[in-house]
Each structure stands twice: as structure tokens, then as C-alpha cells.
Amino acid sequence: MDYLKRKNIPAKIQLEVWNRDNWHCRYCDKPIFYTLSLKILDKINPKHSYFHPNGKTGEILPLFIYSWASVDHVKPFSKQGSDEKENYVSACWECNMKYGNMEVGQGKPEPKGIIESNWDGFYGLYFKLKK
């Protein structure tokens, strides 16, 4: 029953996955955004709706509602998928929620290849703004 003891994916591993995947969702190819950068942007410009802790519709710009960076298990952890980087892909929040506990071929698409891109999800901006 060890597979039921799910742990959060460490931030360092998440960053490695997002960088590996060039900050794009491997299911829909949409660019994804580093949430901590959006949080700082919202503090600097509170009336621009860059961030809401729950992604609440109407409280956050439509561009960002479902575009938060997340890491998805290709084979779900709940179905004995491993907690290894090879089983992780970058996913926009929308795809992560949509495919939830599904397996590839049973509702979840096969992850697409990595898009060539210089997009960094506003990760570089985070270091400039957090000072």
C-alpha cells in the first residue's frame, strides 16, 4: 500500500521538469506560467488580476486562469505510477485537472514532444521581481 502515500513533488524537481519541457503543456502545447511570478506581479499591480490563490474566475485574467504551471504524472500515482522524472510532464492547470486520474489511452492523450522555445514561464522575471 506504499503507492497510496503520495508526497508533493519537490519544487526543485518541478522546476527541472518545466525547464526540460520548455514551459509548455505536453498535452495541449499551451505556454505555462510560473505561479510565484504571477503572485509577485499581482502584489506590484493588485488591480491587474494576475493571481488569485484559488484561480477564481473573474478574479484573475483569463490568460492565467488555467495556464499555471503544474507537473502531471503520465501514469497516475494512484494507479501505481512512479514518482520518477520520466513519469512527469509539464501540464497547464486545465489539462492537469481535465485528465486527473486517467491513464494514457483511457481518456488521457499521450504527451506530445517537447516544443523548441525560449519561453521561461516568467521564471526569469521572478528573480528580478522578488528583491
Residue 60 in 3-state DSSP?
Answer: strand
pLDDT-derived band at 4 (thresholds 50, 70, 90) equals low
pTM assigned to the model:
0.90
Return the pLDDT at 111: 98
| CA–CA separation, 63 and 122 (whole Å) | 14
Query: What residues contact 5, with CB distance under 8 A and at least 6 apart?
Result: none
User: Stretch 42-61: mean pLDDT, rounded?
Assistant: 87
Given a cut of 60, whether residue 1 has pLDDT beyond it is no
Which of the 8 DSSP states describes residue 98?
H
Please give the residue that has the higher pLDDT: either 84 or 65. 84
